[in-house]
Every structure is written in C-alpha cells, then in structure tokens.
A and B are shown apart, each in its own frame.
Chain A
Amino acid sequence: MTHGWTAWIVAAGLMVAGGATAFGHGHGGHGHGRNSQAKKDANSWRDGFRGPHDFGGGVRIPQDAGLNKGLGGGLDGRGFGRAVTPLDGGGRLDGSDLPLDGGASPGYRGGTFAGSVQ
C-alpha cells in the first residue's frame, strides 16, 4: 500500500513547488510562480482561521515564496506564535523575539519552558 504511493507523493510534491516532475515542468520554477500562488493563498488562509479546534490557517508556504501564512490557528485556539519564519528574510511581524501571542506555546515563558517534566 505504502510503496505504490511514494512516486505519486514525490511527483505531486514537486509539482506543487513548481519544480520539474515526471508530469512535466510546473510553472514558475523556484520562487516567482509560487510566490503569486502564495499571495492568492493569503486570503484563503486568513479566511481559514476559525479559532479553537480548527485546523484553518495552518498551511505554510515554501521558503522561497516570500510570504508566511502561519499566523494563529492553533488547535487549542491559542495560536502557535510563529508568524514569520527566518526563511522569508524578515523578523517577526511585531519586531520582537517573543511569540506574537505573548507565549502561546504551552509552558513557554520568556524563553524558557516553565512546564514541569512530563
């Protein structure tokens, strides 16, 4: 069951990113084509955020797309606090080193994990 899907997933994954695949060349190659797709996706991502117990807004984009879609939308509604990755060349949106939600990750307090050992 698993083995037969590997080729499909590999080829489809490359098509998504605009790379050459067995199905032909995706549009855009590295960066530009996907970037426009990412911009189109931005609205759908924002629309997708529906708060607690919802997966909306979870899609993140390739590092070369120049846009990040990872805001909020944590499973528990608290968000993940990972708004901007270093990959897009920017810092965090609020210019701080802290998660945007001020400590969204469970147990995260000022750079250390305050939670007890599991």
Chain B
Amino acid sequence: MPASLPLTLAGAGHRCSVALIVVLLAAAAAAAEPWPRWRGPDGAGQGGEARFPVEWTDSDWAWTAALPGAGNASPVVWDGRIYTASADEAAGRRFVTAHALADGKLLWSRDLPGPIDRHHVQNSSASGSVAVDVRGVYWMWGTQDGVRVEAFSHEGQPRWHADLGRYEGEHGFGATPAVCRDLLIVPDDQDGTSAIVALDAATGRERWRLPRESAKAGYSTPLVLDAGGAEPPLVMVTSMAHGVTAIDGLSGRVLWERECFPKRTVSSPILAGPLVIGTSGDGGGDNLLAAVRPPAGAGAEPEIAYTLDRSIAPYVPTPLCVGELIYLWGDRGVVTCVRAATGETVWRGRVGGTYSASPIAVGDTVRNVSADGEVVTIQAGDSFEVLGRAPLGETCRATPAVIGQRMVFRTAGRLLALDAERGQAADRVQASGSSGAAR
C-alpha cells in the first residue's frame, strides 16, 4: 500500500508528503519494540494497539518477498530486520534469511546443506522459528542424524554452531530455542534421549544440561520469565513426560514440576495472570488444557487450577491471554473464549478452517491464519464476532509478527507486510508535526 501510493498520487507536493510518511513509518517500525521470538515478547502474542485492516486484497500489501525455500518458521523482527528460516527439500538445503522490514529486500541468506528427513505432512524441514537477541540470530534444525543449533550475527556471519546428538520423532523436527539473558535455552524433547540444554549465547558452549524423560516428542518453546534484577529468570517448559516444569534459568535446577499432560505438547506455555497455561493433544483431537498454579512459596506445591478437555483445548495453536480472557483457537476452526481465572466458557464460535498458527492480539481484535492462508479477524471481548477475512494466497502455518504499524505474515514460501489503517497512520504523523497528507 505505501509503496504504490507515491506512484498514483498526482502532484510533487503529495509525492513528497507521502514519501515522508513512508520514511517515518519505516523508521517507526524499526524503532518499535522488537518481536524477538515467534509470537513476540514472552511468547504472549501481544501485537500492540495499532489498528490494522480486517479485510484487504493483494494490492494492499506494503510489500511481498519470496523466500528461498518453504517452511513453517514464524517471522521474528529485530532492529528493522525480519528473520526466518526455510528449506528446499529437493535440494537438501535449509536457509536462514534476513529481510528489511521497511521494504522486504533480502539482506542476506545463509545456506545450510543437510539431509532431509521424512516428516508429518503438516511439518516441514524448517518449522522451528528463529530466536534473536542483541548478539545475533539463532536457529535449530534436526534430522535423525543430529540436532544442530546455528548462530549468526545480525549481518549473517556464522558465529558458532552446536551439535546436540541424534533426534528421534515420528513427526519430524520443529523445536525453537529461547533466549534467556546470556543463554540460549534449547528444548530437545524427543522420542529418543531428551534434555533441555542451555548454551552460552556468545560462544555456543554448554552451560547446563537438564536430562529429561522422554515420552512423545514435543514442540513447545520455552517461556522465559525474567523479572530482572538479582533474581534469576525462570524457564517454563511443557512436555508430555514432565508436565509443566519451572527451571532456574541460570543453573538449570528444577524448581517445581507438575505432571498434567497425557499427550505430546506442541503448543507453548503462556502466562495468564498467576497461572501457567499449557496444552497437549494429538491429531485425533484428544486434547487437554491444564492451568497450573505455581507454588506460592516454601512448602507449597504447584496445583492444577483447572483443566479443559478436547472440545475446547487446542493441540497445535498456543492459547492467547488478553486481560482476564483466554482465547483458545482450536485446530479445527472453533474458537473458545474462557475466563483466565476459572476456565469458565464465555463464548464459542466457529470460524472454519484448520489451524497450525497461533492467535495474536492486535488492538481490540484477535487474529489467526488458517492452514489455507486465510487471515481471520475476530473481535476481542465478551462476545463472538468475525470482523473480516483476507487471503494470503498460500498455505500458512506460521504466526505473524507485529512491529508498530506493520504486520508481517509468513506463508510457506513468502513474506508479506501489511500496514496499519491509513487514518491512524495519518493521525500519528500529524501529531508528530509532519505533513497531514493522507496515505
């Protein structure tokens, strides 16, 4: 949308104004809070307050960019750059790429040759998402020959790599690491030998390793809770073997643990007030959501606050908590809104489609992308209402990123950028003292 406007508006003055707006928008996007892991800070899926369209066409994209391969890795954003991963399975190559948030230009692509394993039809050879911090970019991939963690600088220079040993999982690999201060927390939850490993983010050297029991390979991304200061961060993980586990992020010591999942964990844990929310399930829909209340202090134990069964709990999509409500976007297109404190159902509604991506909150809306590539926007709040639908034109199993006034989608083989509605953008630019020309 903004890229095409300077070409369609008549008059040099308008062109200058619009060009200025484009520059300001790009600068604002670059300066906005980063989206350093899939689903943004804390994996909470909070996309800010910008007002984005709920329906659009191909002509409305700010830009689109082809990826060198296909995959399900969600986009992450840091300092004006979009990082993601893809794979050319026929050629036996994987790619970590950086694109400019402003215009979608490919900044660099790193080629990672390696074997391609069989995987579930909904999985890919580049399903784990990139994690990013001030030092650089981290991505992990795995085959039965081994799990490998790759680290690059923001400029794409290889920094280090770590080999974690063989991987066994009937659906294929798809784990995502999480940054925890100067560590990279690597979940290695598999059918074979499982562990959670903390690597030095600067060097790749192993700092601690927590052996884990194995049940069914999981795909959850660790949730890092960091209050800052002298307190060590907590790493919250979910797995079929152990349920919900709280780990001292600096030492790897288990602080508490609560078994609660009868099936594999694919979604990632989130925080809903004082509760840790996780789900487990399988392709048959035999899902379960557990809300675990952490122990309140010495002598206390974690408790199950409530559970929700297969009719409500999602399997792959991660729950979304906004205020007092949790939105549970079911794999088969039924969305349930429950009260975070009690699990009581507020409403249920059918949006249709099937889903692997996870919902995010944007303004007063909740959005998710179906596997068919349809972006569905519903109203956030106490009642169910579908506000709009828009096509991405391609299969999608990745969760979008939101940086200020720009939303970035990743389909199987493309990145697509959408800007907030022009009225709000214009208002913001006017407020900054620039020209008030409408975009």
Residues of A whose CB lies within 8 Å of any CB of B are: 1-2, 5-19, 21-23, 26-27, 30, 37, 41, 55, 57-64, 70, 73-76, 80, 82, 85-87, 105-107, 113, 115, 117-118
B170 touches A113 (CB 8 A): yes
CB distance from A104 to the nearest CB of B (A): 9
B243 touches A15 (CB 8 A): no
Q: Which of B251-282 contact A (CB under 8 A)?
A: 253-263, 270-274, 276, 282
B300 touches A16 (CB 8 A): yes
A13 touches B274 (CB 8 A): no
Closest to A72 in B: B259
* Per-residue A-contact encoding for B367-383, CB less than 8 Å = 1, 0 else: 00000000000000000
* Per-residue A-contact encoding for B296-315, CB less than 8 Å = 1, 0 else: 11111110100100000000
A2 touches B271 (CB 8 A): yes
B248 within 8 A of A: yes
A13 touches B253 (CB 8 A): no
B231 touches A118 (CB 8 A): no
Contacts of A57 in B (CB 8 A): 259
A17 touches B227 (CB 8 A): no
B210 touches A63 (CB 8 A): yes
Closest to A26 in B: B298
B227 touches A10 (CB 8 A): yes
B227 touches A61 (CB 8 A): no
B234 touches A9 (CB 8 A): yes
B321 touches A2 (CB 8 A): yes
Q: In whole angstroms, how far apart are the Cα atoms of A23 and B297 in the complex? A: 10
CB distance from A109 to the nearest CB of B (A): 12
A86 touches B211 (CB 8 A): yes
- The one of B213, B215, B255, B259 in contact with A16, judged by C-beta atoms closer than 8 angstroms, is B255
Q: In whole angstroms, how far apart are the Cα atoms of A57 and B255 in the complex? A: 17
B55 within 8 A of A: no
CB distance from B321 to the nearest CB of A (A): 6
Closest to A22 in B: B231
Q: In whole angstroms, how far apart are the Cα atoms of A8 and B254 in the complex? A: 17
B274 touches A5 (CB 8 A): yes
CB distance from A106 to the nearest CB of B (A): 8
Closest to A59 in B: B301
B256 touches A13 (CB 8 A): yes
The A interface is mostly helix, strand or loop, or mixed, namely loop
A27 touches B298 (CB 8 A): yes
A82 touches B241 (CB 8 A): yes
Q: Which of B39-94 contact A (CB under 8 A)?
A: 42, 44
B120 within 8 A of A: yes
- The one of A2, A7, A19, A107 in contact with B248, judged by C-beta atoms closer than 8 angstroms, is A19
CB distance from B220 to the nearest CB of A (A): 17
A58 touches B283 (CB 8 A): no
A15 touches B262 (CB 8 A): no
- The one of B216, B232, B271, B323 in contact with A105, judged by C-beta atoms closer than 8 angstroms, is B216
* 3 smallest beta-carbon distances between A and B, as pairs: A118-B283, A58-B259, A7-B227
A82 touches B294 (CB 8 A): no
B225 within 8 A of A: yes
A7 touches B259 (CB 8 A): no
B248 touches A16 (CB 8 A): no
A62 touches B215 (CB 8 A): no
Most buried by B among A9, A11, A15: A9
B321 touches A82 (CB 8 A): no
Q: In whole angstroms, how far apart are the Cα atoms of A117 and B211 in the complex? A: 27
Q: In whole angstroms, how far apart are the Cα atoms of A5 and B170 in the complex? A: 37
A11 touches B298 (CB 8 A): no
Contacts of B284 in A (CB 8 A): 118
Closest to A114 in B: B170
B120 touches A117 (CB 8 A): yes
A73 touches B259 (CB 8 A): yes
Q: In whole angstroms, how far apart are the Cα atoms of A59 and B259 in the complex? A: 6
B105 within 8 A of A: no
Closest to A104 in B: B215
B417 within 8 A of A: no
Contacts of A87 in B (CB 8 A): 210-211, 254
- The one of B231, B253, B260 in contact with A11, judged by C-beta atoms closer than 8 angstroms, is B231
Q: In whole angstroms, how far apart are the Cα atoms of A64 and B270 in the complex? A: 26
